[in-house]
Amino acid sequence: MPTPETGGWEWGEPTDVDGPDAHSGTNVWGTVLTGDYPNSVCWTLDLDLDLVVQTPNAAVECWLWYWTEQSFDGCHFKVSVDDGATWELVTPVEGYPQPSVFSNNCIGANTPSWAGNSQGWRHVVLPIGEYQGETPKFRFVFGTDGSVVYPGVFIDDLRIWGLHPPFPIGTLTGPFAPSPITPAGECRGRRGQPDHADSTVTNALGQYTIEGLRIGTYAVQFRRPTFCDSVVANIAITENEPPI
Ligand SMILES: [Ca+2]
């Protein structure tokens, strides 16, 4: 896993008597591990995994402990899908406890955030399924105003679900042969219907297209619905290049 960009965040064992022990193990990510956070800071904790969001139920899950000045110091979670040029706020399943925080450092007016006192560790789930197919960067943002400080924000046991290494995609397409003695290419799968979830038949006597296939070599079986014979062909799917 790549080393995160930390801003002012610290990794280690928290020792502030007013702060938490780790949710599990010994170490956490925290704003300041030994005491209160400073005034007027904008700290970002970035994670760039270079992985693709694969499923609609993909999510970031973690445990959070926070104690901040309720309306003026806080933290939230953002995603960038344009290599860090812009960042979008991600809302946790249970929502942010403070709908309006304004630190004037990182956190602009009326921004939902984790702020106030969490009263212990809280389990947080951040849905990222809407970024399916994207390769997002992740960021915890922590901002404070010019006065009044508290122990801060602590993150532990972070997991991310539904990511996948990027892989190139190809398309299988070809003609449905009208000749009854030419089974290859007439149809794919059973009863002339391609069985891939993303496949479409544009014309029963025309072309078929199966999109979203990972590149590689596949054994493809062609079968006609009223005949017992079939043909198996090894077909290479190349990136964005129809193989046949
Ligand atoms: Ca403050």
| In the chain, where the domains are located | 10-164, 169-237
pTM of the model: 0.70
CA distance 45 to 77: 9
Phi-psi label, residue 224: left if phi above 0, alpha if psi -120 to 50, beta otherwise: beta
Among 155, 161, 150, 140, which residue's Cα sits nearest to residue 23? 155
Looking at residue 208, its pLDDT comes to: 67
CA atoms within 13 A on the CB side of 177: 13
Looking at residue 45, its pLDDT comes to: 95
Q: How far is the CA of 74 from the centre of ligand 1 (A)?
A: 9
Looking at residue 43, its pLDDT comes to: 95
Q: How far is the CA of 61 from the centre of ligand 1 (A)?
A: 27
Return the exposure string of 124-148: e unless at least 16 CB atoms fall within 10 Å of the residue's CB, then b. Answer: bebbbeebeeebbbbbbbbbbbeee
Q: How far is the CA of 80 from the centre of ligand 1 (A)?
A: 27
Residues with CB under 5 A from ligand 1 (ion): 69, 72-73, 144-145, 148
Looking at residue 240, its pLDDT comes to: 57
What is the mean pLDDT, run by run of 10 residues, along the chain of 244 residues?
Answer: 71 96 97 96 93 92 97 97 96 97 93 98 97 94 97 96 78 58 44 41 57 73 59 68 47
Q: How far is the CA of 212 from the centre of ligand 1 (A)?
A: 50
CA distance 47 to 109: 25
The fold of 10-164 is Jelly Rolls (2.60.120)
Tell me the β-bridge partners of 193: 190
